[in-house]
A and B are shown apart, each in its own frame.
Chain A
């Protein structure tokens, strides 16, 4: 199908711990997988993306991994901070459009 399954729907971690969010998809033609962060009352903003020709990409405390064979990709946030609290959406590029996961509400506890 078209949908992207995203888990967990909510995630609470202690400040300084790591957080992992996972998404799965079924369309093997997808080649581009962005992650968006949406703070309360704000718009979704791109934080990191990955293309199908690489397996991992890092940007400071965030990283994304992609397993095309298994059709899943994950967002990893290390050394979490209170400002990481937000809703995170994974997405995949579909046929001329973008399909989003249902979102993960991350709460970093100080």
Chain B
């Protein structure tokens, strides 16, 4: 398996623009997580899905952030409008949950490095 695939890897955008980050989880994994990483706040869980259904979005910072998972192989994280304080690395991760042979390990994508100027 190719692992968790994220795009874009790097994005620089102007304040006020819409940003869409994309993720393809590992095939067969039924949990998908979106994390944000900054120096100040470390790894923050924004939202996670189970079987395409959002389970917990309490980490989403504000209404400017939204996430969807229209099918088992694709998820998006959208920021509209973007602000400079949204600059961070956004990681998507997936897990097989209880069905995964290795237990409940989660696997991270390479991350999307977002800079809002």
Contact = CB atoms under 8 A, between A and B. Distances in A.
B107 A51 contact: no
25 contacts: A32-B103, A34-B105, A34-B106, A36-B108, A42-B110, A43-B109, A43-B110, A43-B111, A44-B43, A44-B91, A45-B108, A46-B105, A46-B107, A51-B103, A96-B31, A96-B50, A97-B45, A97-B55, A98-B33, A98-B95, A98-B106, A99-B45, A100-B42, A100-B43, A103-B42
Nearest to B59: A97
A98 B97 CA distance: 11
A102 B42 contact: yes
Interface in A38-86: 42-46, 49, 51
Contact count band on A: 10 to 19
Interface in A15-40: 32, 34, 36
A88 interface: no
B17 interface: no
Interface of A: 32, 34, 36, 42-46, 49, 51, 89, 93, 96-100, 102-103
Given A44-B43, A44-B91, A96 B55 contact: yes
